[in-house]
Chain A
Amino acid sequence: MKMSGAQMVCEAIIAEGVTTVFGYPGGAIMNVYDAIYKQTGFEHILNRHEQASVHAADGYARATGKVGVAMVTSGPGFTNAVTGLATAYMDSIPMVVISGQVPLSLIGTDGFQEIDAVGISRPCTKHNYLVDKLEDLPRIMKEAFYIARSGRPGPVLVDVPKDITAEIGEFIYPTEVNMPTYKPNHKGNERQIKKAVDAIVAAKKPLLYIGGGVVLGNAGELVRKLANMAQIPTVETLMARGVMGHDNPLLLGMLGMHGNYSSNMAMSETDLVISLGARFDDRVTGKLSEFAKYAKIIHVDIDPANIGKLVDVDYPIVGDTAEVVAKMIELIEDSVDTSRYQAWRDILNRYNELHPLSYEDSDEVLKPQWVIERIGQTLGEQAIITSDVGQHQMWAAQFYPFDRPRQWINSGGLGTMGFGFPAAIGAKRGCPDKTVINITGDGSILMNMQELVTAAEYEIPVINVILNNHFLGMVRQWQTFFYEKRYSSTDLSFQPNFKMLAEACGGIGYDVTTKKEFDDALADAIKQNKVCFMNVAVNRLENVLPMVPAGGALYNMLLEHKEY
């Protein structure tokens, strides 16, 4: 069938089963927007900033497991999208971003709104393309989606010059991908898996260390089965919250810089780390030489480059977590003795009794942890929780009772403030029957607050719970602990009126200072089904605890900080 390059882009998106595209038009991408206007295969959501478009596509992908798609124009449209690409890249999120480019004849001439998009995005995409022949476009679109979702997922950029989108050509969308240089390995080596299982059976203090790869690889159920069957204590990374379910007695909690005591002690004392889809990030390991010092390490990862990158691994297994864990279950089924790790579980339970994750509640001032627990009590499994970056993010990860993978959406790797709100918009579009709450801070929310307009226009009822401490709280916390309280540029006492701001953009605003007001506001927000800002005044100097100071050993945790 003959059609324009712009139509080909749309047809490919439709053929890939994408139902929502987030984007922002501009000169170089106008042909594609014209084709979007004429098609009915997908909905286009006009965000009010390209960064938000990419985060929204990212949130959509994280919530649904499908490839998210964003569309931007050349030059500033593209550069605004870079933070979104980097965010998705660091967390391995499947995404295709289409950017317009100046016509081929103008490339390299410093044309209006020209920037080297493939050059800039090379280090923050899994792969990228500059389309320089129309005949390549269908194949490139097919490959882009395939690369984005296969192997270790990631964002792919397709940069399309304006003359290519205008040109007419024959469109045949390929049914399969033929890339001799790209063949991700999904099946783990069976001999290695067997050896790893033998090590598990022989261990006295094994520990399951679960990362975001389990979520991305849809291996949650299998991992839970493995843990339950062998009765192995489990820790989750920030990216894996929800995999085990908060009430599973085997789950110790989150580990790392703000992990709870028993999780970090478990990692420090285990004799066998079973790492599934985790990558030994510095926020998880603390001081590397002290990390899991007494343990042999099994490392299951789809990306060979993650294995041996930071720690020496005894049992490397390259493969898809779901496939490898399924095989492990098969092998372990008959050989496992669930009483074997009882003594180990007892030790860890005692650690947990000694220093449970806790906070001191108050009747005078709202505690952010209480707010998060309250949302959990009210909505539990029904909600998808997104977050921005900072203290609120850590409290949400610590205190929300997550029950399933994909329930918790945050920028873990890049740590992008401003991610939560647009990601929530994407998540809500992808999962309309869920209540989507963005737990955010008074710093982060301002970084993409223009999305109020988007959410109001498209009637996307995202509830933004702003834990307002009038500080860039996490930086302030570090200044308190490590910079002798020199609060350099972290005091956010000067603020907008969040309630009025939300109302001005077509949403609802709430000012909340007490528990009662919070309950009322949350109930109302759920009922109203409209985008809202819930401005929740919380204790100004609350700290995220426990804390492993940067570069310190996991077992050296600051457990309390009394001085307010």
Chain B
Amino acid sequence: MDSVRRVISVIVINESSVLARVAGLFAGRGYNIESLTVAPIPKSDFSRLTVVTNGSQRVIEQITKQLNKLIPTLKVIEHEEMVEKEMVLVKFPSAEHISDIQALCSTYNGNIVHAGENNIIGMVADEPKRVENFLDACSRYNPLEIVRGGVVAIER
């Protein structure tokens, strides 16, 4: 069966070990995690996990059902119509190409967020596909370090 990519949001009670329950479920049942982000939902007892995964239609269905089965899970959203963003931080060696890098960052909804003596750091937040493009484009400036933030998504 064809593998499909899915972004799934899981609303869980914000309590200890809940992340382990979700991660353990994926590991134990052999599901993939492409990226995973977690943060509390403001003014509530809940946290939101955003998981990017892939698998056959049957596997994706099992993932959502098994996530739903976890006792602390309030809701599982399999995203269809969504706005999806990922943040990335990139560290460059010197200020030599600073204006080029700045231009590149702004093309991808970002900016230079730090310019120091030894390096500069650029940040962009964009769709995962565009983040890939950005990373391809900035490879010519010899990035020292790349930190991707994982996908967050919100249903339209």
Contact = CB atoms under 8 A, between A and B. Distances in A.
Contacts of B20: 119, 122
Given A118-B17, A119-B20, A130-B17, A147 B65 contact: no
A181 B24 contact: no
Interface residues of A, number: 18
Interface string A286-317: 00000000000000000111001100000000
A123 interface: yes
Contact of A181 (B17, B58, B66, B74): B74
Interface in B21-62: 21, 24, 28, 58, 61-62
Contacts of A181: 12-13, 71-74
B11 to A, nearest CB: 9
Contacts of A132: 16
Contacts of B58: 308-309
Nearest to B65: A305
B21 A122 contact: yes
A304 B28 CA distance: 19
Interface of A: 118-119, 122-123, 126-127, 130, 132, 147, 179-182, 303-305, 308-309
Contacts of B17: 118-119, 122, 130
A303 B69 CA distance: 8
A84 B74 CA distance: 29
B71 A179 contact: yes
B102 interface: no
B68 interface: yes
A127 B58 CA distance: 25
A304 B71 contact: no
17 contacts: A122-B20, A122-B21, A123-B24, A127-B71, A130-B17, A132-B16, A147-B71, A181-B12, A181-B73, A181-B74, A182-B71, A303-B69, A305-B62, A305-B68, A305-B69, A308-B58, A309-B62
A147 B74 CA distance: 15
B147 to A, nearest CB: 28
A126 B71 contact: yes
Contacts of B66: 305
B21 A304 contact: no
Nearest to B71: A127
Given A123-B24, A309-B62, 13 more contacts: A122-B17, A123-B28, A130-B16, A179-B71, A181-B12, A181-B73, A182-B71, A303-B69, A304-B65, A304-B68, A305-B65, A305-B66, A308-B58
Nearest to B63: A305
Contacts of A126: 71
Contacts of A182: 71
B4 to A, nearest CB: 16
Contacts of A309: 58, 62
B71 A308 contact: no
A179 B13 CA distance: 10
Nearest to B29: A123
B36 to A, nearest CB: 17
**Smallest CB-CB A-B distances: 3 pairs:** A305-B65, A127-B71, A181-B74
A172 B138 CA distance: 62
Contacts of B62: 305, 308-309
Nearest to B69: A305
A132 to B, nearest CB: 8
Contacts of B71: 126-127, 147, 179, 181-182
B19 to A, nearest CB: 12
B24 A180 contact: no
A414 to B, nearest CB: 15
A251 B105 CA distance: 71
Contacts of A179: 71
A118 B13 CA distance: 17
A308 B73 CA distance: 21
Interface in B56-111: 58, 61-62, 65-66, 68-69, 71-74
Nearest to A303: B69
Contacts of A118: 17
A3 B16 CA distance: 27
A130 B61 CA distance: 30
Contacts of A127: 71
Contacts of A304: 65, 68-69
Contact of A308 (B61, B68, B74): B61
A40 to B, nearest CB: 33
Contacts of A147: 71
Contacts of B21: 122
A182 B12 CA distance: 11
A459 B74 CA distance: 48
Contacts of B24: 122-123
A182 B13 CA distance: 11
Contacts of A130: 16-17
Contacts of B12: 181
A501 B58 CA distance: 52
A127 B68 CA distance: 13
Contacts of B61: 308
Of the listed residues A123, A147, A179, A181, the one surrounded by the most CB atoms of chain B closer than 10 A to its CB is: A181
Nearest to A310: B58
A308 B1 CA distance: 15
Nearest to A124: B28
B32 to A, nearest CB: 18
Contacts of A305: 62, 65-66, 68-69
Of the listed residues B21, B61, B66, B71, the one surrounded by the most CB atoms of chain A closer than 10 A to its CB is: B71
B86 to A, nearest CB: 28
Contacts of A303: 69
A127 B69 CA distance: 10
Contacts of B65: 304-305
Nearest to A304: B65
A142 to B, nearest CB: 14
A272 B71 CA distance: 34
A126 B28 CA distance: 14
Contacts of B16: 130, 132
B87 to A, nearest CB: 29
B75 to A, nearest CB: 8
